[in-house]
Chain A
């Protein structure tokens, strides 16, 4: 009998087997995006004074490890440093023989060993040197900068990346603390946000389209069904049926508030048969449980409403990305029908196989029809806009329609610095006094950046990294940025005290990294990098601070 089901001749390829556990998260499309991306790591800039080689760059290397393993297309390491003894105590991607050699070359070599599918290259020149070549930066889809680095270098990298629309992640890890910020382009759209599957259900029970309404009407003779049939009517149909009953008794109105819905729920509950051996019916239990969750009129989420109001969505230009063309088409669809295209998925429910499949088909065909309509709008928009590099693919339109309710556009911000944008100052001010806020830790890192900038400019020696006076004045300088607006909250000694405390933890290692904290941070940074590269899930907006003393983190929009 073993021949009854012959074995598949074609199983998964060895690549699919190697990447199986991640393909279940971002599918072939995410994997393809990853494989087509090259990441640039600027892992150090220059030494901190005469005796300190500067950033160890462990966060950067650990981040790359987490990108090389899942198969990023390639990576470039820029690192002028030479491997020193302290490097071997924190960096796993160096070995005894690496001492005295180029750190860029050695880390590149040992990272490449992790995955033969990944290309790796390195430069021992400084990043400012490399940026002179206009072709250098645009080869990359993401830039990682290991800090602290001096301000002018960071600014040069961020500015250049911004011109090409390349995202930047700036990381710092010192002692038990770390922080990183993500700079995204001015508009960063995401279609596949992977919301919780429960929140994506759109069953349209209050406003069924004709085919669904007809299916609901088909069980008018519910009472004549035998117990087995009665206990297997899909709960969607039960709800549609009882809604019709309700409407007849309520001037055609559906239950609209909590009280009415509770009454309706009782109506449904009381219609279940209890005289059977089980003393109840599972499909009715499901129907009762679904009343409050599913009987809500369609409403557009505010995030989507905002996208519909964006200029590029209202009036896509000939050079607009396909995202905007499809978003404009969805907007048009919404204006016509006051609902979004149906996602078309149906949750599992107690039902006979054939009944479930035919109900599922009603949802699927409606979704297909909606996709066709959106596609027509997209094509006519494309025609109006004139020649474009590539028309939106059918696949893209389909994925967009399925995810329409949950798409997101992140408005990228610059890497935050205290004397930068006014919005950064405001966000810091709003968050600094919240109990347990990690903003003081962020400000201590800002002070460290200032100190490193002065050390690299030769204004002070590396001894400053643990100098009470230097830190005190760096922190005062930062607090000074808040003065012009007369911010009494920042003058308040408590905030200063907390920044000083955080600074003390940074001073403990004189700017040095601990492997655990850098490895953890490299995990977090890689996670964000994957989300940016695959354009799936929702990346950080825009700063994360990790406190390894208390084992916790916070996100801030700075």
Chain B
């Protein structure tokens, strides 16, 4: 690569790379080698959305020269209030490509390689080429996937196989940034229960006793659509589909004298919209890229390992060290304990796994050491094990027995030890 490093241009950055600070490690050697280590560090950004746009800009202005970015999405009008690399005329184009081109144009000498697609399309060889991975995602599932992939890649003989993962996330005025050293520090899976999903409304409420406008929307989305338009695949980006659900929900709300169904709320419920603003993204993205710079250059100590931010009342941050859990299904070697009601059927247990903060598995298959309890695929096996769904847990397993759970969203098995209530 052609070096376009002008010392004048990078004056401020170079001064922290060529001069020790009061908190830099004593063994650190500042100077040209540190600069060239930074400039030759290949770095991967996962997500080119609200956080991703900021992360790309920040990395380019932090002296990284070889940046890759993955995102499968295209640009939507609702992105424009924060995803500042996109314009009205970019709507419909792939985020990764537009973002990469914009930052390359603006910051001279940086190379940004976009990939439009899923992180799951790429294998270990691909991830092995990077020095650091920075995530700006809105999906817990994708985070868990990259986390377990990076942990699986660690070869203790080869220090280069350990890829620091820096993760950012936001919701409204709140967010968090965390640094994960796969196998060495607390991982995404260790911290899973800190990010519990919102509890779902019970189906019987939706089907028979709605009380809130949201219940009416869920009914229109989950039940009325199935009954009346089952041949159309529901698309939450299709305004006609949302409009239909909105009207169906309105009708139901009227029937039950429930006030408050709006179009905006309908969209929010069916798309599970999380509020997002530019300023929160700026805070969290810069928190992650500041750590990337520190890790790539050692110019200051990096975050160990979690910073949360809340901006509703003043500026509040809390920085702490999340603990590595010995029973983490991904980086630990003990099975994670789940307390269950032994009278629950296997089917009910499977449903709860989707919501339990410590599991969050939507399509699990499971087995004990001796037998398969339920297997979704292939169909023959599904048929063979289907009868187990109606059986109670106490008739299938022993108190304290370990089960292995797999889920199509993840490459690894999760080990749980089921303790009876």
State the A residues within 8 Å of B (CB). 1-2, 4-8, 11-12, 14, 16-25, 56, 62, 65-66, 69-71, 85-86, 88-90, 92, 95-96, 113-116, 175-176, 193-194, 232, 348-349, 351-354, 356-357, 501-502, 504-505, 508-510, 512-517, 519-520, 522-524, 526-528, 530, 537-541, 544, 548-553, 555
State the B residues within 8 Å of A (CB). 6, 8-13, 15-16, 19, 21-23, 54, 57-58, 61-62, 77-78, 80-82, 84, 87-88, 106-108, 172-173, 177, 209-212, 220, 224, 227-229, 232, 239-240, 242-244, 246-248, 251, 256-258, 263-264, 267-268, 273-287, 289-291, 293, 300-303, 307, 311-319
CB-CB under 8 A from A348, the residues of chain B are 211-212
Among A17, A71, A354, A356, which residue has its beta carbon within 8 angstroms of that of B77?
A: A17
Of A175, A352, A540, A549, which is in contact with the most chain B CB atoms at under 10 Å from its CB?
Answer: A549
Report yes or no: B243 in contact with A516, Cβ–Cβ below 8 A: no
In the assembled complex, the Cα of A295 lies from the Cα of B287 at a distance in Å of 43
Q: List 12 A-B contacts (CB under 8 A).
A: A5-B220, A7-B244, A14-B77, A88-B108, A114-B84, A514-B16, A520-B283, A526-B278, A527-B311, A537-B312, A539-B314, A551-B307
Q: Which residue of B lies closest to A529 (CB)?
A: B279
Minimum CB–CB distance for B421 against chain A, Å: 12
Minimum CB–CB distance for B45 against chain A, Å: 14
Report yes or no: B62 in contact with A515, Cβ–Cβ below 8 A: yes
Report yes or no: B82 in contact with A21, Cβ–Cβ below 8 A: yes
Minimum CB–CB distance for B310 against chain A, Å: 10
Report yes or no: A89 in contact with B10, Cβ–Cβ below 8 A: yes
Report yes or no: B282 in contact with A523, Cβ–Cβ below 8 A: yes
In the assembled complex, the Cα of A549 lies from the Cα of B275 at a distance in Å of 30
CB-CB under 8 A from B300, the residues of chain A are 176, 548-549
Report yes or no: A86 in contact with B81, Cβ–Cβ below 8 A: no
CB-CB under 8 A from B107, the residues of chain A are 92
Report yes or no: B243 in contact with A555, Cβ–Cβ below 8 A: no
In the assembled complex, the Cα of A530 lies from the Cα of B239 at a distance in Å of 30
In the assembled complex, the Cα of A66 lies from the Cα of B267 at a distance in Å of 25
In the assembled complex, the Cα of A66 lies from the Cα of B243 at a distance in Å of 32
Report yes or no: B16 in contact with A176, Cβ–Cβ below 8 A: yes
Report yes or no: B251 in contact with A5, Cβ–Cβ below 8 A: yes
Report yes or no: A520 in contact with B22, Cβ–Cβ below 8 A: no
Minimum CB–CB distance for B224 against chain A, Å: 7
CB-CB under 8 A from A514, the residues of chain B are 12-13, 16, 62, 290, 293
Among B220, B279, B289, which residue has its beta carbon within 8 angstroms of that of A516?
A: B289
Assuming the contacts A88-B9, A92-B57, asked whether A508 and B16 have C-beta atoms less than 8 A apart, the reply is yes
Q: Which residue of A lies closest to B317 (CB)?
A: A553
Assuming the contacts A114-B84, A512-B12, asked whether A552 and B319 have C-beta atoms less than 8 A apart, the reply is yes
In the assembled complex, the Cα of A550 lies from the Cα of B228 at a distance in Å of 57
Assuming the contacts A70-B278, A550-B319, asked whether A508 and B258 have C-beta atoms less than 8 A apart, the reply is no
CB-CB under 8 A from B224, the residues of chain A are 5
CB-CB under 8 A from B307, the residues of chain A are 551-552
Report yes or no: A351 in contact with B209, Cβ–Cβ below 8 A: yes
CB-CB under 8 A from B80, the residues of chain A are 18, 69, 115
CB-CB under 8 A from B313, the residues of chain A are 193, 537-538
